[in-house]
Amino acid sequence: MIQSKRMIAGIFAALGLSAAGALAADEREAAAKALVTASLPVWLAQAGAFTADTTAIKTATERSAHGLASTLPETCDVARMNRDLCGVKLVRIPSLSMAPGLLEKDTVAVLQKDFGVVRRGDVLVHNAKYQGATSLGITRVIGMPGDTVEIRAGDVLVNGTPFAREATGETYGDDIFSAAVVRETTPEGRSYTIAMPDPRPQTQADNFGPVTVPAGKYFVMGDNRYNSLDSRFPDMFNEDGFVAQSDVVGVAASVLAANDHARIGLTLR
């Protein structure tokens, strides 16, 4: 028995893991399933994607739980999930400002405490004021405290370095609005998709700044670049255009439910 335990420990060590770490991963998976199994049918109905197909429900549950488990804090197990949802906040996306990655009525998991530090490229959930009205905002971090941010012909530059962009060949929208789906990559290598109409409309969002992000604040933008009220509009967004660290509710971690089942389980960090 002792020899078997040593052999198992050796296998984990060779993989760069520990038995305790593997157990923790199993516990997070169980915790995620405890939440998702009970709630997914309701989330799907809210997203307009309810189905009575038990096979589809099972597959969606597995995808949702696996995506959530991969982002949960290491202290999360079933007991803590039942007690405080492991610090997770459930948020329904209220608009199309984060399309094409996040769509209206998606349900996402938001880490309120255990996300470590905010990084460029994170999707923030935060308190916001839109033309004086207080609401919950969901935007992507573009500029960190101390950064200089500018927009030139719709392209993003931070500290003089442009974000890389690559066409995916996909489109987002309908007969009324259509946009190219473009993969944008930060200087640190984090990538995500944005919606860019072609031709681009001429707005103040095309040429902005440069501005320096104050200490304790973030410069943010929506992924649906021409359908988002964000840091490019300081007269209408948060009075100065920035998101204060004190207004951050959390960081979006994974897509729990969506109208398109293929997006369920998508991790956002």
The whole-angstrom separation of Cα 179 and Cα 197 is: 4
Domain membership flag for residue 81: no
The whole-angstrom separation of Cα 241 and Cα 64 is: 34
Domain membership flag for residue 165: yes
For residue 4, the SS3 value is: helix
How many angstroms separate the most distant Cα atoms in the chain?
A: 72
The whole-angstrom separation of Cα 70 and Cα 35 is: 14
The per-residue pLDDT for 8 is 33
For residue 11, the SS3 value is: helix
Token code pair at residue 267: 């991790």
The per-residue pLDDT for 10 is 41
For residue 151, the SS3 value is: strand
| DSSP code at position 187 | T
Domain membership flag for residue 15: no
The per-residue pLDDT for 263 is 95
Q: Across residues 150-178, what is the average pLDDT?
A: 91
Q: Across residues 9-14, what is the average pLDDT?
A: 38
Q: Assess whether pLDDT exceeds 50 at residue 14.
A: no
What does pLDDT average to over the chain? Answer: 89
Range of the domain at 163: 123-253
The whole-angstrom separation of Cα 268 and Cα 69 is: 13
pLDDT digits (tens, 9 = 90+) for 228-245: 999 999 999 998 999 999
Domain membership flag for residue 195: yes
Domain membership flag for residue 97: no
The total number of structural domains in the chain stands at 1
Amino acid occupying residue 197: P
| pLDDT bracket for residue 224 (50, 70, 90) | very high
CATH code where residue 165 lies: 2.10.109
Domain membership flag for residue 140: yes
Nearest Cα neighbor of 218 from 163, 153, 155, 137 is 137
Nearest Cα neighbor of 239 from 145, 128, 126 is 128
What is the separation of C-alpha 36 from the centre of its chain, rounded to a whole number of angstroms? Answer: 18
| Sign for the pseudo-dihedral over CA of 233, 239, 241, 243 | negative
What's this model's pTM, rounded to 2 decimal places? 0.87
The per-residue pLDDT for 20 is 44
| DSSP code at position 105 | T
Q: Which of 18-32, 86-100, 116-130, 151-165 has the lowest mean pLDDT?
A: 18-32
Domain membership flag for residue 96: no
Domain membership flag for residue 219: yes
Helix 19-46 crosses helix 54-69 at what angle (to 10 degrees)? 130
Three-class SS string for 24-91? HHHHHHHHHHHHHHHHHHHHHHHCCCCCCCHHHHHHHHHHHHHHHHCCCCCCCCHHHHHHHHHHEEEE
Query: Do 242 and 218 touch, CB atoms closer than 8 A?
Result: yes
Specify the pairing of strand 148-152 against strand 243-244.
unpaired
Specify which residues 211 forms β-bridges with.
149
